[in-house]
DNA sequence: CGACATTACATAGACAATCTATGTCATTAA
DNA sequence: TTAATGACATAGATTGTCTATGTAATGTCG
């Protein structure tokens, strides 16, 4: 089944939401979670994921710390911050607003 | 009320859908229709609109002809072609697919 | 009559955000 | 000891929107 790219402007929201739901995850797990919950429709490339995580760190919306996976590999674990949660709410409401607006344009008569 | 930009990747679909519904419209009317039906949430800038119309013309998805508005101004009137309608269907189904996938990620538990 | 706002189309360049391609390093498996 | 995999990372290409600007024609108002 053909996978789709993440629509520009939604990646940060999807990462924040995934961390909000998932608690403490490293990069790979975040990408996997997005792919799985989308039922394989969406796929996050690593070249999009890691720069996005850096942006979110820099904004203070997520916090990260180095650790080890169960398979004993180094990995950076992230969790969403209080400010990140506020930001998530902002992005969610903006997304819904736009989404509904597009829906009104698309809906027949 | 603050307006939002058109999400990247959706403008062509919105134009095609507007022409599908509206019949024969010129550029300005298309932009107005999108803004109105979105209840003023979305706004298409001219710098986005006209290049998009050129793309669609080039692809053969819309056809255009010069005419006069009711106020006697020159304007280019567009209508959607058969190929454009096929393309619209493609873009609609892709949009819904992605939209639903994002919905699954966002929905609580 | 002349200045100005408005309508409508158009283009160049800026900018944002994703992707592709590539690379590194460490661990586990063959 | 080599190969495959997991995990992170960056550079550069690409795409598509926006901002800013410009032209031209019509209608309006002092």
Q: Where residue A77 sits, what CATH number does that domain have?
A: 1.10.10.10
Encode pLDDT of B20-40 as tens digits: 998 899 999 999 999 999 999
Can you give the pTM of this predicted structure? 0.90
* Per-residue 3-state assignment (H helix, E strand, C coil) for chain B: CCCECCCCCCHHHHHHHHHHHHCCEEHHHHHHHHHHHCCCCECCCHHHHHHHHHHHHHHCCEEEEEEECCCCCEEEEEEECHHHHHHHHHHHHHHHHHHHHHHHHHCCC
Average model confidence (pLDDT) across chain A: 94
> Could you tell me if A47 and A66 are in contact, meaning their C-beta atoms sit under 8 angstroms apart?
no
The closest CB to that of B7, out of A7, A37, A92, belongs to A7
Residue A29 lies inside a defined structural domain of this protein: yes
The pLDDT of A40-67, averaged and rounded, is 95
Closest-approach residue (CA) in chain A for B15: A105
Determine the structural domain holding residue A64 and report its residue range. Answer: 11-106
B87 — alpha (psi -120 to 50), left (phi > 0) or beta?
Answer: alpha
User: Could you tell me which of A11, A78, A79 has the C-alpha nearest to residue A51?
Assistant: A11
Residue A27 lies inside a defined structural domain of this protein: yes
SS3 state of residue A72: coil
Say how many domains are in chain A: 1
Residue A81 lies inside a defined structural domain of this protein: yes
pLDDT > 60? residue B1: no
Residue B102 lies inside a defined structural domain of this protein: yes
The pLDDT of B54-81, averaged and rounded, is 93
Q: How high is the pLDDT of residue A3?
A: 83
Residue A4 lies inside a defined structural domain of this protein: no
The pLDDT of B66-92, averaged and rounded, is 94
Residue A21 lies inside a defined structural domain of this protein: yes
Q: How high is the pLDDT of residue B70?
A: 85
B64 to chain A, closest Cα gap in Å: 22
Q: Which residue has the higher pLDDT, A106 or B71?
A: A106
Spatial distance from the CA of A26 to the C1' of C28 (Å):
20
Q: How high is the pLDDT of residue A1?
A: 55
Residue A2 lies inside a defined structural domain of this protein: no
């Amino acid at each position: 089944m053909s996978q789709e790219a993440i629509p520009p402007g939604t990646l940060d929201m999807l990462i924040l939401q995934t961390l909000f739901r998932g608690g403490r995850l490293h990069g790979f797990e975040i990408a996997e979670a997005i792919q799985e919950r989308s039922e394989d429709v969406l796929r996050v490339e690593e070249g999009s994921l890691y720069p996005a995580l850096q942006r979110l760190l820099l904004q203070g919306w997520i916090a990260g710390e180095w650790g080890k996976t169960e398979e004993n590999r180094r990995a950076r674990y992230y969790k969403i911050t209080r400010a990140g949660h506020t930001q998530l709410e902002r992005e969610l409401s903006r997304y819904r607003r736009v989404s509904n607006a597009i829906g009104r344009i698309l809906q027949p008569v």
